[in-house]
Amino acid sequence: MASARSRMSRLRQLAAACLLLAGGPASAQSLTPMRGEVTSFSDVFAVRVFPSNPYPQRIRMEVRVYDQEFRPVEAQVSPAAFMLGSESSRPVTVVVPFDGAERRKVRICVESVPFPNQQTQIRAQICGRFLGQRL
């Protein structure tokens, strides 16, 4: 009996400990375009994407570039991190090196960044797929 009571008490303690605090305002994002092909005469190709925040609060965003296996690609992203106001979008220029290849497929991903002191337990990432081809 005492053992069962102790077990219930432990369960209650554990359940209470696992309650995650409610987060702050919700965040949302989108990315345009999500597909594209670029032809380039040089050793790099450039893509301009437009992350947007269609919802009613300002959010912080980061733009990152990955290859097909989601390994980071050393690309120039300008700007790579920024605050985006409600219902607005902004251009982000991504310059990707071919690294000696004739064509290169990359994913350009925009991720909303939780604000400090918020217990955000879900992150959102939207990735566009782009193909660069060298002439």
Partner 1 sequence: MFNGTVGATCALNITSPTGVLVPSGTLQSLSSRLSGGAAGVVTVTTTGGVTLSLEPTPSAVTVPAGDTTSTVWTPSYSVTGAQTIANTTTATSLTAAGTNVVSVDLTGTKTGSNTFVSGAYSATVTVKCE
Minimum CB distance to partner 1, residue 62 (Å): 12
Please identify which residue in the block is written with the tokens 């106001």.
85
- Say whether residue 26 binds partner 1 (CB under 8 A): yes
96: nearest Cα among 52, 50, 135, 38 = 38
- Say whether residue 68 binds partner 1 (CB under 8 A): no
> CB of 89 within 8 A of CB of 51?
yes
Minimum CB distance to partner 1, residue 101 (Å): 21
> CB of 27 within 8 A of CB of 110?
no
Segment near partner 1 (CB under 8 A); pick from 73-81, 87-95, 97-105, 127-135 = 127-135
**What single-letter amino acid sits at 4?**
A
- Say whether residue 34 binds partner 1 (CB under 8 A): yes
Of 1, 2, 4, 22, the one binding partner 1 (CB under 8 A) is 22
Minimum CB distance to partner 1, residue 129 (Å): 7
The helix (run of H) or strand (run of E) holding residue 104 is strand 103-113
> CB of 62 within 8 A of CB of 78?
no
Give the interface with partner 1 as residue ranges (CB under 8 A).
10-11, 13-15, 17-24, 26-35, 54-55, 107, 109, 111-112, 114, 118-129
